[in-house]
Structure 1
Amino acid sequence: MNKNALTASVEIHQPISLIWKIWNEPEHIAKWNAPSAEWINKKIENNLIEGGGFLYVMAKKDGTENFDFSGTYTEIIEHERIAYTLDDERKSLITFTGNNPVTLTEIFEPVPGLDVTMQQEFCQSGLNQLKAYAEQFNK
């Protein structure tokens, strides 16, 4: 991870087993993986094994912006951490700490040349969406 890595974090009041499932299963990812209601996931693939890959095709509903978010998993420790390398070689680490509440932290290398504040806010907003989605389930 480079020294310019950004961090976003959220505390979710649910068991780790539920948070892990929501983070990794495509049917759940589709419900939370967007920074706002303007965005949708047009396609989600997730092969959660070391050496496996993932692909999220994200787009604004109005069609003005879209991008693929894809990479390869480099480390998976169930209920603890997920590390991956994106197709453009940037690295990310997701950690899951605790059990009800769970602190989910994402450390990621930003896209060079894009506003880092915007990237930080985009990631944090996605985590906030995850929290809202996860906490709607009965405890």
Structure 2
Amino acid sequence: MQPSNKTAVTVEATIKAPVAKVWKFWNEPAHITQWCAASDDWHAPRAEADLRPGGKFSTTMAAKDGSFSFDFGGEFTKVAENEQLEYTMGDGRQVAISFITQGDETKVVETFETEDMNPVDMQREGWQAILNNFKKYTEAN
């Protein structure tokens, strides 16, 4: 992740699954649509990912009641299978995700640059909630 003047926030979770499964569930659109939401009243009806440096990704996040939706996307800048992902979001913010093998478990550490519209704590809570949802989905499947 390139240094910038944005605030960087880190969220993490330890998933009770091997790194190959965690990597697959994190990156395959069929799985992304099952976990990429911060709360039960939201979902991800669409996801695409061209998992290579220079490849684009996009996930539609939407309120289940149809009242609001947005696309979350960007471009991968680093792809090291089962180890590291880095990408630049559509608004230029940087994200780095490490997948750390810990025996039969995998620690996921995600560092993202904040945006200026919402409080940092709110952003941290939202990204952590999505990561927690990923953990719950991955461990149950």
What TM-score do you get using the length of structure 1 for normalisation? Answer: 0.93
5+ residue gaps in structure 1?
A: none
- State how far apart, in whole Å, the 2-side matches of 1:79 and 1:65 are: 34
- RMSD between aligned residues: 1.2
Equivalent position of 1:10 in the other structure: 13
**Does the 8 Å contact 2:35/2:44 carry over to 1?**
no
Which of 58, 61, 64 is the aligned partner of 2:67? 64
Runs of 4+ off more than 4 Å:
none
Residue type of the alignment partner of 2:139: E
- State how far apart, in whole Å, the 2-side matches of 1:103 and 1:130 are: 12
Over the matched positions of the two proteins, sequence identity in percent amounts to: 39
Equivalent position of 2:29 in the other structure: 26
Q: Show the 5 A alignment for 1:46-85.
A: 46-85=49-88
1:103 and 2:110 correspond: no
Deviation at 1:106, TM superposition (A): 0.6
Equivalent position of 1:126 in the other structure: 130
5+ residue gaps in structure 2?
A: none
Partner of 1:135, secondary structure, is helix
- State how far apart, in whole Å, the 2-side matches of 1:53 and 1:29 are: 15
Residues 51-60 or 98-107, more deviating: 98-107
Partner of 1:21, secondary structure, is helix
